[in-house]
Amino acid sequence: MPSQNSQSLEKMSKTDTIKLRNRYIGKSCKLFYKSDPLKIVRGQGQYMFDEEGTRYLDCINNVAHVGHCHPKVVEAASKQIAVLSTNNRFLHDELVHCAEKIINKMPGDLSVCYFVNSGSEANDLALRLARAFTKKLDVITLDHAYHGHLTSLMEISPYKFNLPGADPKPDHVHVASCPDDYRGKFNRFNSSSDMIKDQYIAEIESIAKKVTEEGRGIAGFIAESLQSCGGQIIPPEGYFEDVYRVVRKYGGVAIADEVQVGFGRVGTHYWAFETQNVVPDIVTIAKPMGNGHPVGAVVTTQKIADSFAATGVSYFNTYGGNPVSCAIANAVMDVVENEKLQQNAQIVGEYLLSEGIKMGYDFEMIGDVRGYGLFVGFEIVKSKSCRTPATQEAQWIVDRMKSVHRVLISSDGPNENVLKLKPPMVFTKENAEEFFVAFNECMHFLQKVNLSSLTEDVSNELPTRTDLLIKAM
């Protein structure tokens, strides 16, 4: 029986929940929708429900990879936690089966697993592996990148260390331009299409050469296979192939951060780095691996793993690879396979991209539409001709999609003007249509009014999501 206190907590009003959060949770822990945060009490598939039972279409949660509370994942977790949950210094089958499943999906010589609790831990371990193998310290990262919240990762995450009040970039970290062909240093408006990639590569080679000539050398290059916080960036074709060649030429290793985009999200491939026809030296995975449960892994070659072991410092992670986490990860990979969710990501993703591009023809404020599978971004600008980031407008769209249409999206990028879609993999074409009905209404409304005049009051004069869906049928 729950205690009287737990019963009261379950029935707390949203206002009381906010009061307790403000009292006990650090102010730097931010919420979605600052002016009217959501209190979510239940999730199912691609939907989330608030304390009043209102249903929201979830286009944000790439963490709930196979859908919120998938019954197969819940069953696997329940069965295992009822039997055993301990650390990985004891033998257990779930761990070795999980490693085997992951390795069977990896190309090339990627054949050794280390289990961790999160993407941050995975990327921290990847840095240790790279430095143990190369005996070097310096790392090349990309501008606007985010690789985790540990100190070692804040140091290689311009998305964080460029903020006011953040610790400055260390001297051993080198930032190369993000390969954004829309707003990046080299783009389709200031360079010929066949020169964009080469200009970005030349910059990385210049960094590697300079560091080597100074007698330090490069430990590695780390990048998200598709940059998420940087604004849903799709690198030019062949970009990573050339980057990896340059980095290895100077003795470094290539680290692919798949924490956001792995496990079939891109549709055409199981891992996003495969879209660039490359095989990294180290791969980090996490978020979607546990469908919301904290579990991640680092995969590398036997050669790198052996160099790490040769240091004599053993690697131990209390919860990394515990039986419950591995049982959940095994269930997630089975669901992706059995329910053909990778194929679904390709089909629905192609629809999202094609319909989004069509919308771009109709609205001057949709500057660019880009994506791969269920990883899509809409860059909102003042106009196509000037490409000035429409940051306020993007945030207004995010808020209106939630408050009027009950569709959850987010915005990100250097100017916070890129609308991001990275929904659970069970997202359907019908869900995509629901998103576009809502997005289309928001864009039409923005065309008619001045942003400074927008208030929540005007939403009451507009048709509801249900009205719009009926009209669109």
Asked if residue 355 and residue 275 are part of one domain, the reply reads no
Residue 450: per-residue pLDDT:
63
Got the DSSP string for 34-54?
A: TTS---EEEEEBTEEEETT--
Residue 117: per-residue pLDDT:
96
As a whole number of angstroms, the distance between CA 181 and CA 189 comes to 8
Query: Of 338, 355, 390, which residue constitutes the final position of a domain?
Result: 338
What is the residue-averaged pLDDT of the chain?
92
Per-residue pLDDT averaged across 33-62, rounded? 94
Asked if residue 326 and residue 446 are part of one domain, the reply reads no
Position with higher pLDDT, 6 vs 62: 62
Residue 8: per-residue pLDDT:
54
As a whole number of angstroms, the distance between CA 139 and CA 222 comes to 7
Asked if residue 351 and residue 275 are part of one domain, the reply reads no
Pairs from 452-461 (Cβ < 8 Å, separation ≥ 24): 454/396, 456/403, 459/400, 459/403, 459/404
Residue 84: per-residue pLDDT:
95
Amino acid occupying residue 271 = W
Nearest partner of 157 among 149, 181, 243, 284, judged by Cα: 149
Nearest partner of 436 among 460, 416, 419, judged by Cα: 419
Asked whether residue 9 carries a pLDDT value surpassing 60, the answer given is no
Query: Of 312, 338, 364, which residue constitutes the final position of a domain?
Result: 338
Asked if residue 153 and residue 236 are part of one domain, the reply reads yes
Per-residue pLDDT averaged across 206-224, rounded? 97
Give me the domain span that covers residue 192.
71-338
As a whole number of angstroms, the distance between CA 435 and CA 59 comes to 9
Predicted TM-score of the model (pTM): 0.92
> How many folded domains does the chain comprise?
2
Asked if residue 430 and residue 395 are part of one domain, the reply reads yes
Structural domain contains residue 386: yes
Per-residue pLDDT averaged across 30-38, rounded? 89
**pLDDT digit string, tens, across residues 185-195:** 999 999 888 89
Buried b / exposed e over 307-327, threshold 16 CB at 10 Å, is bbeeeeeebebebbbbbbbbb
Asked if residue 109 and residue 23 are part of one domain, the reply reads no
Give every CB contact of residue 252 below 8 A, 6+ residues apart in sequence.
Answer: 130, 134, 136, 140, 208, 217, 218, 219, 220, 221
Asked whether residue 183 carries a pLDDT value surpassing 50, the answer given is yes
Is residue 340 classed exposed, middle or buried when 0-12, 13-18 and 19+ CB atoms within 10 A define those classes?
middle
Helix (H, G, I), strand (E, B) or coil at 420: strand
What is the distance, to the nearest Å, from the Cα of residue 327 to the centroid of all Cα atoms in its chain?
A: 23
**pLDDT digit string, tens, across residues 416-441:** 999 999 999 999 999 999 999 999 99
As a whole number of angstroms, the distance between CA 326 and CA 317 comes to 14
What is the distance, to the nearest Å, from the Cα of residue 425 to the centroid of all Cα atoms in its chain?
A: 13
Asked if residue 326 and residue 368 are part of one domain, the reply reads no
Asked whether residue 456 carries a pLDDT value surpassing 70, the answer given is no
CATH of residue 324's domain is: 3.40.640.10
Query: Of 288, 320, 338, which residue constitutes the final position of a domain?
Result: 338
The fraction of the chain above a pLDDT of 90, given in percent, is: 86
**pLDDT digit string, tens, across residues 366-386:** 999 999 999 999 999 999 999
SS3 content of the chain, % helix, strand, coil (to 5): 45, 15, 40
CATH of residue 356's domain is: 3.90.1150.10
As a whole number of angstroms, the distance between CA 116 and CA 320 comes to 4
For helices 302-309 and 119-134, what crossing angle results, to 10°? 80
Residue 459: per-residue pLDDT:
42
Q: Residue 371 is inside which H or E element, if any?
A: strand 366-371
Asked whether residue 296 carries a pLDDT value surpassing 70, the answer given is yes
Asked if residue 283 and residue 148 are part of one domain, the reply reads yes
**pLDDT digit string, tens, across residues 394-421:** 999 999 999 999 999 999 999 999 999 9
Structural domain contains residue 428: yes
Q: Residue 398 is inside which H or E element, if any?
A: helix 391-403
Residue 34: per-residue pLDDT:
84
Asked if residue 401 and residue 452 are part of one domain, the reply reads yes
As a whole number of angstroms, the distance between CA 75 and CA 207 comes to 50
As a whole number of angstroms, the distance between CA 321 and CA 69 comes to 21
**pLDDT digit string, tens, across residues 335-353:** 999 999 999 999 999 999 9
Helix (H, G, I), strand (E, B) or coil at 259: coil
448 pLDDT tier (thresholds 50, 70, 90): confident
Asked if residue 170 and residue 131 are part of one domain, the reply reads yes
Asked if residue 386 and residue 328 are part of one domain, the reply reads no
**pLDDT digit string, tens, across residues 309-325:** 999 998 989 999 999 99
